[in-house]
Amino acid sequence: VPRSWPLDAEKVAVLGVGNVALDVARVLAKTGDELLPTEIPPNVYEGLKGNKALEVHVFGRRGPAQAKFTPLELRELDHSPTIEVIVNPEDIDYDEGSEAARRNSKQVDMVANTLEQWAIRDHGDRPHKLFLHFFESPAEVLGADGKVVGLKTERTQLDGTGNVKGTGNFTDWDIQAVYRAVGYLSQNVTQLPFDDQAGTVPNEAGRVIADDTAEGDARFMPATYVTGWIKRGPVGLIGHTKGDANETIACLLDDAKAFAPAPKPELDAVTEFLEGKGIPFTTWAGWYRLDAHERALGEPEGRERVKVVEREDMLRASEPNKA
């Protein structure tokens, strides 16, 4: 894929109210120099350094109590000295379903409280404005001559259950770029069963289910496991993912005693196979060499590391005495 990305829009829309949408909005609103101390590679820094975005608008079709932000991710938006986070007081609204969600979840209540505080405060003079819009359902991306020139949204209202319905009132926003962060759907692999509605491979604790009508071990595909979003859908943070992987691996280790033995169980059989096929690869020791190489690149600039981007460069750095 190209290593550059056009960032010439001064007003940008991000669709979605999850942590991914916040990540996109935060990176677009920050300056390249703010992110330079991180591990971003030079091409990313140069792209962000030329970013012209002065306004970032995040749109959600429901209200504050339905936002999928985590409290920490949300509060971090306001830590940047260059980003002014703005919430319209008219977007702070709750119905019976919303209030129930706040009572039942400390996380939901914390997010709602943060948004309320931002809605009632005076605006400062930070140069980049990040607007969090609620009750605005994207209806159409407006374009001309192959470029985005606006975004049309429909105002929504709560229906008592925490869901919303359209009001028929539309707004055209002055926008020159749109980023979509409203969900993720895994792709099917033809050899595996697939739940088209959930976007997951049917499984039990990570063991892939072959036939719901069978009993015992016959229910599961032999030596076939899933973890992550293909196992449970696009929800949860890193902690959930680690626990999810632990569960799957525990099942694999429990089943391993019944696996057919490998025809070549020697430890070097895999590397011999790859070398015989001419397939480039690295080893655990090679990863440490790459890690040391990236840290050495960052040291002259006072950074923890500078990431190597191209696969060929990573492989070269992971080889002995070739970093």
Residues 100-148: tens digit of each pLDDT: 999 999 999 999 999 999 999 999 999 999 999 999 999 999 999 999 9
In this prediction, residue 40 carries a pLDDT of 87
Tell whether the model's pLDDT for residue 289 goes beyond 50: yes
DSSP string for residues in 244-281: HHHHHHHHHHHHGGGSPPPSS--TTHHHHHHHHHT---
How many Å apart are CA 162 and CA 174, to the nearest integer?
Answer: 29
The predicted pLDDT at position 185 comes to 85
- The tens digit of pLDDT for each residue in 40-63 reads 888 899 999 999 999 999 999 999
Q: What is the per-residue pLDDT across 67-90, written as a single tens digit (0 to 9) for each?
A: 999 999 999 999 999 999 999 999
The neighbouring-strand residues paired with 133 are 59
Give the pTM: 0.82
Distance CA 52, CA 261 (A): 58
Decide: 45 and 210 in contact? Cβ < 8 Å.
no
Enclosing H/E stretch for 111 = helix 106-120
Model confidence at 323, in pLDDT bands (50, 70, 90)? very low
> Residues near 203 by Cβ (< 8 Å), separated by ≥ 6?
209, 225, 226, 231
Mean pLDDT of 310-316: 93
CA angle (91 as vertex; 236, 97 as ends), nearest 5: 60
Amino acid at 251: C
Distance CA 18, CA 288 (A): 34
Please spell the DSSP secondary structure of 118-182, one letter per residue.
Answer: HHHSPP---SEEEEEE-SEEEEEEEEETTEEEEEEEEEEEE-SSS-EEEEEEEEEE--SEEEE-S
| pLDDT, tens only, 228-241 | 999 998 877 788 88
Nearest to 136 by CA among 75, 74, 36, 59: 59
**Alpha-carbon gap, residue 229 to 244, rounded angstroms:** 10
- The top-scoring range by mean pLDDT among 170-174, 259-263, 318-322 is 170-174
In the chain the domains, ranked by start, together with CATH numbers, are 11-180 (3.50.50.60), 203-258 (no CATH), 269-318 (no CATH)
> DSSP label at 285?
H
CA Rg, the chain, in Å? 24
Residue 127: per-residue pLDDT: 93
- Span 141-159, average pLDDT: 96
Place of tokens 């790459």: 290
Closest CA to 180 of 4, 17, 3: 17
